[in-house]
Amino acid sequence: MDRTGNEKNRICRKCLLREIDEKAYREKLYVYIEKLDQGIRAKEQLYEKRLLLCKACEKLNDGTCAACGCYVELRAAVKNSHCPYGKW
Q: Which of 62, 84, 70 is nearest to 18 (CA)?
A: 62
User: Is 58 in contact with 37 (CB distance < 8 Å)?
Assistant: no
- Exposed e or buried b for every residue in 63-86, given b needs 16+ CB within 10 A? ebbeeeebbbbbbbbbeeeebeee
pTM comes to 0.73
pLDDT tens track of the chain, all 88 residues? 445 555 555 555 666 767 778 788 888 889 999 999 999 999 999 999 999 999 999 999 988 899 888 899 999 999 999 998 899 9
